[in-house]
Amino acid sequence: MVFEPKYTDYELSPYTGLTRKSWIEAAKYLLGGIFDNIASADKPVVMPRYETKVTYPGKDAPTWRFKAEIFEGLTRSFFIAAPLICEEPALSLNGINIRDYYKDQVLRAVTPGNDNYVYNYSDMKKENGDEYAIYQQTVETAALVICLFICKKEIWDTYTQEEKDRIAAFLSDYAHSYTVPQNWRLFNMLDLAFLYMNGYEIDEDIMRDHAQNILNYYVGDGWYRDGQSFDYYSCWAFNMYTAFWNNWYGYEKEPYIAGKFEENSNKLMETYPDFFDRDGFTNMWGRSGIYRNAATSAFDGNLMMRDSKADPGLARRICSGSLLQFLKRDDFLINGVPTLGFYGPFTPLVQSYSCAESPLWLGKAFLCLHLPKDHPFWTAKENNGTWDKLKKNETKVTTLNGPALSFANHEASGITELRTGKVVKERSDEHGMWNYSKLVYNSKFPWESAVRKDVESEQYVIGYTDKKTGEIQNKDDKILKANVTFWHGEKDGVLYRRQFFDYELNTETHWNTAMNLADFAVPYGIMRADKIRMYRNPITITLGAFGFPDNGTIVECKEEGGFKAVILKGYDHTGKEKQLCYTIFDGWDEIEVIRSVGTNPDSERSVVLCANTKREKQYGYEKYFLISQVITKESHEDFSLDDIFPVKDIIYTDEQKCGGYGPVTIVLKSGEKRVVDFYGIEGDIEL
């Protein structure tokens, strides 16, 4: 079953048809599926589990982990329920009045001795004996106060003073206690702000300390560094929660910090719409991919600022497009609840800090319903921003050096591709590398997990080979993957990065295998001109293309002027036409066709095209450059030969044509030239 809105208006919303009524329908659709799993009004929001190996709580988990699951279910489903309660206080689902249910369950959650009590911070500290421990409940308190604020009249104002005090004491215990020194500070800030707004005493120095730290995580262009990484947390945490904080506390008590948060949010709005593709699709990138379209909540956050700069018609178009990206799929729900995956269930995406209810964080996208009916977000006509302005076959590239992000909007395909940097992961963290270390992230071809130990999609894999047999030494320490990505930035249309393989700090840099990366946009994709930087041979090098959903795939091979290409034509899970072409120009030997099961987030079966080559000599002067391209589109209309083989000439500086030194110039049939020159990159690479 997929979501089919009854209310559409293609005059107001020419791209999606969705209106505020459509969004209310969608909220009821999702919340109805959740409540179908709740037997009675006294039961918590704990959903059926089908995955138990990765997610919490495990069977031997401490009691507080089971309590955390109850709290996640309550608060994250409340994101969807709160605006519905304002719209329709008498709404009942599965025979349960929604307003009464959440009013009661909030009290149960904060009341010691109740079966649904989720523990305050002090109780958990006593149980664990660790005053610096952090708990999932801290995260959920922020969701709770947002929802209590949204349906203030319907729920918060109807509590007795004793009940309000009981909730406030619970919140204060978390608000003034230990938290994670990254985006979690915002949870404490919202708790404190909610308490202040409702007349409760808070420690303003604690508030100020958290707020100044959050502000100083800022790197520019609307993005914040969250721990080491950059990902959608900048959008569904930093640029969402700061908006509530500004209105509850910051504008009044900390105007300088609040002004900076607003300025940063407006800066994000200058480029963030181009993060999404022509259909408004969200790219599968970074941790917590199970939160899906929660990434669109940053638009709602900006619209809450006093001097919002977001384009409301574009904001709604993207929010609605991303909503439909998921709700129009028949594999999105299991037992009426969003899956632990991006589309259908996909365990490689899931983290150990998630439980069955964690995907309900996507409910944050529904907070836009708190905007009144006459708000421009709902009344402005949809427009498609950049996509309405691109010329035929034009690609718009936006490069942001602070967060190390470069995204390309391809008019030819409507696809957006993202290239990232400033990535640091443990050598053994395959999951982290899938989320952050892919060379390119594609809005219509989400990342694929490992199809083979020596092959990854959109990731180089280096394998040491046996000197006698030439075969890969099939041991973990002999197969290297890129766990660190440095950023250099863009020059003359070429983006420069460097990846290290099995990087570790106790090894001097030059003993780490590396690849200098250079790539640039072409109409349907990205062309690569990367340079090998190895210290040890013999090796094999592989580079997979995007994973291709295999629901009946046609494989074609073409050659021109010594260049080789393999083309895939097929369909995704929904029946949408897909096409991918992988072309190798220089430095590579062959392209292998690999079929896989269980590694693709769209379909059970998939195909990965993989280029491969070997380097035999320890100090021989061999080919250093690896030049290739991957192009994609959602159509079976043939790519032209100029799309498949766009290179007219490759001009090397060295007479051996290996690219060991000097610029390498790639001359395209279109008449464009791209000069790739890594000389001097050593002096300006960033993490």
Residue 130 is predicted with a pLDDT of 79
Q: In the structure encoding, which two tokens stand for residue 86, read together?
A: 């304002």
Please return the burial class of 645, using the count of CB atoms within 10 Å of its CB with bins 0-12, 13-18 and 19+.
buried
Residue with the bigger pLDDT between 129 and 584: it is 584
Q: Which strand (E) or helix (H) includes residue 187?
A: helix 185-197
- pTM reported for the whole predicted model: 0.97
| Nearest residue to 442 (alpha-carbon basis) of 545, 308, 364 | 545
Q: In the structure encoding, which two tokens stand for residue 496, read together?
A: 């420069």
Q: Give yes or no for residue 475 having a pLDDT over 70.
A: no
Q: Give yes or no for residue 167 having a pLDDT over 80.
A: yes
Residue 472 is predicted with a pLDDT of 63
**Using CA atoms, how far apart are residues 490 and 268, in angstroms rounded to an integer?**
20
Q: Per-residue confidence at 129, pLDDT binned at 50, 70, 90? A: confident
Q: Give yes or no for residue 607 having a pLDDT over 80.
A: yes
CA-angle at 152, arms to 194 and 314, nearest 5°: 85
CB neighbour burial string for 469-508, b if at least 16 within 10 angstroms, e if fewer: eeebeeeeebbbbbbbbbbbbbeeebbbbbbbbbbeeeee
Residue 659 is predicted with a pLDDT of 97
Q: What's the start-to-end Cα distance of the chain, in Å?
A: 45
**Using CA atoms, how far apart are residues 398 and 400, in angstroms rounded to an integer?**
7
Q: What domains can you pick out in the chain, each with its CATH number?
A: 22-388 (1.50.10.20), 395-636+646-683 (2.70.98)
Q: Give yes or no for residue 474 having a pLDDT over 70.
A: no
Instruction: Please report, as a single letter, which amino acid is at residue 580.
Output: L
What pLDDT digit, counting tens, does each position of 302-331 carry? 999 999 999 999 999 999 999 999 999 999
What pLDDT digit, counting tens, does each position of 199-217 carry? 999 999 999 999 999 999 9
Q: Give yes or no for residue 355 having a pLDDT over 80.
A: yes
Q: Give yes or no for residue 509 having a pLDDT over 90.
A: no
* Mean pLDDT of the 365-370 span: 98
Q: Give yes or no for residue 554 having a pLDDT over 80.
A: yes
Give 266's contacts (C-beta < 8 A, 6+ positions apart): 222, 302, 305, 307, 308, 309
Q: With contact defined as beta carbons under 8 Å apart, do 100 and 91 qualify? A: no
Residue 470 is predicted with a pLDDT of 64
Reduced to 3 states, what is the DSSP secondary structure of residue 229?
strand
Give 590's contacts (C-beta < 8 A, 6+ positions apart): 564, 584, 611, 612
Instruction: Please report, as a single letter, which amino acid is at residue 72.
Output: E
Q: With contact defined as beta carbons under 8 Å apart, do 349 and 62 qualify? A: no
**What Cα–Cα distance (Å) separates residue 318 from each residue in 137, 298, 384, 505?**
31, 11, 8, 41
Give 53's contacts (C-beta < 8 A, 6+ positions apart): 347
205-211 contact pairs (CB < 8 A, 24+): 206/175, 206/176, 207/249, 207/253, 207/254, 208/254, 210/179, 210/185, 210/186, 211/185, 211/245, 211/250, 211/254, 211/257
| Nearest residue to 612 (alpha-carbon basis) of 635, 581, 594, 588 | 588
- Per DSSP, which regions of 130-205 are E strands? none
Residue 536 is predicted with a pLDDT of 81
Residue 618 is predicted with a pLDDT of 86
Residue with the bigger pLDDT between 565 and 469: it is 565
* Mean pLDDT of the 542-564 span: 97
Per cent of the chain over pLDDT 90 is 92
Residue 66 is predicted with a pLDDT of 94
Q: Give yes or no for residue 155 having a pLDDT over 90.
A: yes
Q: Give yes or no for residue 141 having a pLDDT over 90.
A: yes
Q: Per-residue confidence at 617, pLDDT binned at 50, 70, 90? A: confident
* Local structure of residue 235 (DSSP, 8 states): I
What pLDDT digit, counting tens, does each position of 16-56 carry? 999 999 999 999 999 999 999 999 999 999 999 999 999 99
Residue 125 is predicted with a pLDDT of 85
Residue 590 is predicted with a pLDDT of 98
Q: Give yes or no for residue 469 having a pLDDT over 80.
A: no
Least confident of 124-133, 345-354, 561-570, 581-590: 124-133
* Mean pLDDT of the 611-622 span: 92
Handedness of CA 339, 282, 216, 681 (dihedral sign): positive
Q: Give yes or no for residue 251 having a pLDDT over 80.
A: yes
Residue 476 is predicted with a pLDDT of 59
Residue 583 is predicted with a pLDDT of 98
Q: Per-residue confidence at 587, pLDDT binned at 50, 70, 90? A: very high
Sole residue written with tokens 């259909």: 279
**Using CA atoms, how far apart are residues 224 and 216, in angstroms rounded to an integer?**
8
**Using CA atoms, how far apart are residues 406 and 456, in angstroms rounded to an integer?**
21
Residue 133 is predicted with a pLDDT of 87
**Using CA atoms, how far apart are residues 444 and 282, in angstroms rounded to an integer?**
9
The Cβ of residue 617 has, within 10 Å, a number of other Cβ atoms equal to 9
As separate numbers, helices (DSSP H) first and strands (DSSP E) second, the chain gives: 17, 27
Give the residues across from 457 on adjacent strands. Answer: 544
**What Cα–Cα distance (Å) separates residue 393 from each residue in 411, 417, 418, 492, 521?**
5, 15, 18, 19, 11
Q: Give yes or no for residue 298 having a pLDDT over 70.
A: yes
Reduced to 3 states, what is the DSSP secondary structure of residue 498?
strand
* Mean pLDDT of the 127-142 span: 89
**Using CA atoms, how far apart are residues 584 and 586, in angstroms rounded to an integer?**
6
Q: Per-residue confidence at 264, pLDDT binned at 50, 70, 90? A: very high
Q: Give yes or no for residue 601 having a pLDDT over 90.
A: yes
* Mean pLDDT of the 274-289 span: 97
* Averaged pLDDT of the chain: 96
Q: Give yes or no for residue 466 having a pLDDT over 90.
A: no
Residue 139 is predicted with a pLDDT of 97
